[in-house]
Structure 1
Amino acid sequence: MFKSSHLDQHKRLFYLALPMILSNITVPLLGLVDTAVIGHLEHAYFLGGSTIGAMLITSVVWLCGFLRMSTTGLSAQTLGLGDLSKNLLILIRGVCLAIVIGIVFILLQNPFLDLALAVAGGSEKVQFYANQYAQIRIWGVPAALANLVILGWLIGNQQGKTVMWLLIATNVINIILDLLFVYIFHWQVQGVAFASLLAEYSAMLLGITLIAHHYKSALTKLGSDFRQLCRELFDKQVLLNYFQLNRDILIRTLCLQICFLFITFQGARLGDTVVAANAILMNFLLLISFGLDGIANAAEALVGEAHGKKNTKQLKLTVRIALFWSFIFACLYTLLFSTLAHFFLGIISDISSVITFAEQYLFWIILLPLVSCWCFLYDGIYIGLMQAKVMRNSMIIATFGCFFPLWFLLQGFGNHGLWAAFSIFMLARGATLAWHFHCYRKESI
């Protein structure tokens, strides 16, 4: 693994992965800060309500994760081709689509929230605060979706440090506003929602400013002929291929969101304490997934570049190195939660019933890095290859062939059954993608 001829590729992976790991971790850390701020209020229904509300908005953003994934894969491949104009068109097209989708959700917010809250369940107070939170956050959806495109484009162009500083700056703004609105202005759940809303628009403006400054001459050249720019942006065949690619990623993401929403909604039906405890555990899960995604993000960019250059040797080497480091980081996460999970719980909440209940399920969080690291990495590989159909099929199998059947069989074990089904679901995702890549490697590459 560490032959001298391979060291440069290890360095390239780490050059991209380490900033991505640091920046990715700030996202769930922010969620933990939000949870900690609300978790120290008097009642569990504040945390339960904000969790349900955040999940409703987050599900919309994650459902549109195809914007980030397709942008990363396409921009990485055009980077390999050395076509800057085409690269920038991918960014502009993605941002336009993101804003349109965001506006549609704002226009349809009342029926969307009514239906989602009816499905979510929970006590009357959890429902009230979930609705209060979501009605504020939904106005930030256009910015949140545009940020997916911006981050995806930066990752595809191997600008990991820019992504890191952009996310760190945004999350610092969010945390400061969290503390200001909740502890100084006493806005409770509304304060956390407003903080996230303002942070999303801050991120969008900062990202656009950075890209416009760095690519000023190329963007000026593109905009000099507006009609030609529009023809290239809305070329019928290009748009058809773009929407077909995003359709498959959308189906894949929809299956994933169904599983996440099911865990949250099922917890709400089991009681306020359960949904609050699961909120903490889900934030731990996000901390794991976003951290491991740092290696996957680097693999996306490097695999996409190698695929664009048609350099099969470099592509295979990238996959081997990424697999090795994904396992190493998964072991580190397992060690981290084995030793510090109880400490983290005490920081996040001082509601004894929530902490006591959550402690019963820490085993699953300790196990998850080793179980799930493979699906994160192979997702990244297939994003770089832009083979969305394979990702779609893998997710459908894992969702409807593993998660729901296993939950049905294990539901007698309550919340443990839910987390067991989810763990096997994550393992199935990685196993099916790994099987396809190694059995059909020639067709994949």
Structure 2
Amino acid sequence: MLGQASIPLVGVVDATVIGRTGDTAGLAGVALGATIITLIFWSFGFLRMGVTGLTAQAQGAGDRREVEALLLRALLLGFGLGLAILVLQWPLREAAFALLAGGEGVTSEASAYVTARFLGAPAALSVFAINGWLLGLGKTRAALALQVLMNVVNIAADIFFVWQLDMGAQGVGLGTALAEWSALLAGLVIAGRVAGGGIFATVARTPRSAITDRAAIRRLFAVNRDIMIRTLALLAIFTWFANAGARLGAKELAANHVLMQFINLAAFVLDAFAFTAESRVGNAIGARDKAYFLRSVRLAGEFSLASGVLLSLLFLALGGAVIDFISTDPQVRAEAARFLPFAALVPLLGMPSWMLDGIFIGATRGHALRNAAVLATALYLALDLALRGQGNLGVWIAISASYLLRAGALGLYLPALLRDVESGSAARHLDEGGAEGAQ
């Protein structure tokens, strides 16, 4: 939970450093730019999610060689994809701004932020892979150390670039990119120590045939393809949400971005239990242990529900003070305070969807994740369009309902998974190389 709670602090720091300058256009620009970066970078979030489930299953099956080979495969894939993003940044940036609304001043600030963030793309995607591998092994303290280091560097760099050099949104982007490269260097050291002997020793003792094993690569891409489609569908929800605020004006866009920090905090904290479920479910299926599977799901769900209630109460009690700390603009503060109750409901509304995500990711049921996310996104878009006449109220009703739509759509696949666990076919699915994930 501590490691997960520290992840959204990157976004909170970015918003606060620029928000306390009183520059509404700058804050709105960071909001729009962050949405674009999230859409592009997290399109490859399978590097975290897919690697977690596969690593946990390999560990549960006692296959140490595959555990280490997974790390190296994921690192090569993450760094290569990050380089591709860096090279293709101009068309990606232009396409994103063609899709997302924003005034001239907001778009200028957002463009400066996005350009700076692209510099960290290879590091950011590689860190996704390292985090996924560490979480798959249950090395949560190591993941926490990595995230804390990244946050410390990000805070210091943001303050220096924005408050000392007056670089605005561009400085926020540069600070975060620098933090991502620092996290990659530290992550390689941490992963090497967890594997034993350091990262270079891990590379040396892992046969090239294991890294390039065709069956393992096919399985990695089969699972990752479906998770990528699932991630793109869910990113469409939050991109649409940000664009809905941008259509209403800089005040609404900035206020919604401030409230999104509450939602990100809730999502990452409660995802700690989902990640625990991923690791435990993957271990249970790899070891063919039905009792461990059921106990893991029950305990993770109970703790997640209790934490969701606590977070909702904290948001209601302290949210006003946090809003005032992040932004100094009176209009942004008032708009954010108006819709704070919606943000406070998200820990309760989102908990079932995040927990189900963890269960299905750990079981590497990519087709269920893919289909449920596409269905939920389609229903959300229809609801948002129907409520467009309600202004920002309609925007918040739709995004709140999206969590229930996600949980309901994924819940349709839960009985089948439980039957597979009961019969033992979930383990046979692993033996067959994840063919089901490619359906």
Q: Equivalent residue for 1:375?
A: 353
Change (3 A) 1:223 1:119: closer
Aligned to 1:138: 118
2:96 aligns with one of 92, 97, 116: 116
Deviations 1:242-294, CA, capped at 9 Å, x for gaps: 11111100110000111111111121111110110111111111011001001
Aligned to 2:106: 126
Q: Does residue 389 in structure 1 map to residue 380 in structure 2?
A: no
**Aligned mates of 2:390, 2:28 — CA distance in 1:** 22
2:56 paired residue among 61, 73, 76: 76
Residues 1:104 and 1:219: Cα distance change in structure 2 (over 3 Å) = closer
Q: How far apart, CA to CA, are the structure 1 residues paired with 2:204 and 2:146?
A: 29
TM-score normalized by the length of structure 2: 0.93
Q: How many residues align?
A: 422
Shift of 1:218: 8.5
Q: Is contact 2:22–2:328 with CA below 8 Å preserved after alignment?
A: no
Q: Does 2:396 align with 1:419?
A: yes
| 1:206-217 aligned within 5 A | 206-217=186-197
Distance 1:51 1:68 in 2: 24
Superposition RMSD in Å = 1.5
**Aligned: 1:253 with 2:231:** yes
* Mapping of residues 16-415 of structure 1, within 5 Å: 21-217=1-197, 223-224=203-204, 229-400=207-378, 402-415=379-392
The percent identity for this pair of structures is 34
SS in 2 for 1:41: coil
Greater mean alpha carbon deviation, residues 78-87 or residues 212-221: 212-221
Question: Which AA in structure 2 matches 1:82?
Answer: G
| Cα distance in structure 2, aligned partners of 1:259 and 1:99 | 27
Structure 2 equivalent of residue 10 of structure 1: none
Task: Give the aligned residue type for 2:385.
Answer: F
Contact 1:132–1:190, Cα closer than 8 Å, also in 2: yes
Which one is further off, 271-280 or 34-43? Answer: 34-43
Say which SS state the counterpart of residue 22 (structure 2) adopts: coil
Task: Give the alignment's TM-score, normalised by structure 1.
Answer: 0.92
- Distance (Å, rounded) in 2 between the aligned partners of 1:140 and 1:33: 17
Q: Distance in 1 between matches of 2:284 and 2:414?
A: 16
Contact 1:76–1:302 (8 Å) recurs in 2: yes
Q: Secondary structure at the match of 1:42?
A: coil
Q: Which amino acid aligns with 1:200?
A: E
Q: For residues 427 and 348 of structure 1, what CA distance do their matches in structure 2 show? A: 29
Q: CA deviation at 1:309?
A: 0.3
Structure 1 residue 430 and structure 2 residue 407: aligned?
A: yes
Does the 8 Å CA contact 1:222/1:229 hold for their aligned counterparts? no
**CA 1:358–1:379: 2 relative to 1, 3 Å:** same
**Structure 1 residue 438 displacement after superposition:** 3.4
CA distance in 1, matches of 2:36, 2:201: 41
Q: Which deviates more from structure 2 when the two are superposed, residues 193-202 or residues 53-62? A: 53-62
Aligned-partner SS, 2:207: helix
Work out whether residues 88 and 219 of structure 1, in 8 Å CA contact, stay in contact via their aligned partners in 2: no
1:442 aligns with 2:419: yes
Find the aligned partners of 1:100 and 1:216 in 2 and give their Cα distance: 25
2:433 corresponds in structure 1 to: none
3-state SS of 2:21 partner? coil
The whole-number CA distance in structure 1 between the counterparts of 2:284 and 2:132 is 17
Find the aligned partners of 1:412 and 1:117 in 2 and give their Cα distance. Answer: 24
**Counterpart contact for 1:137–1:197, Cα < 8 Å:** yes
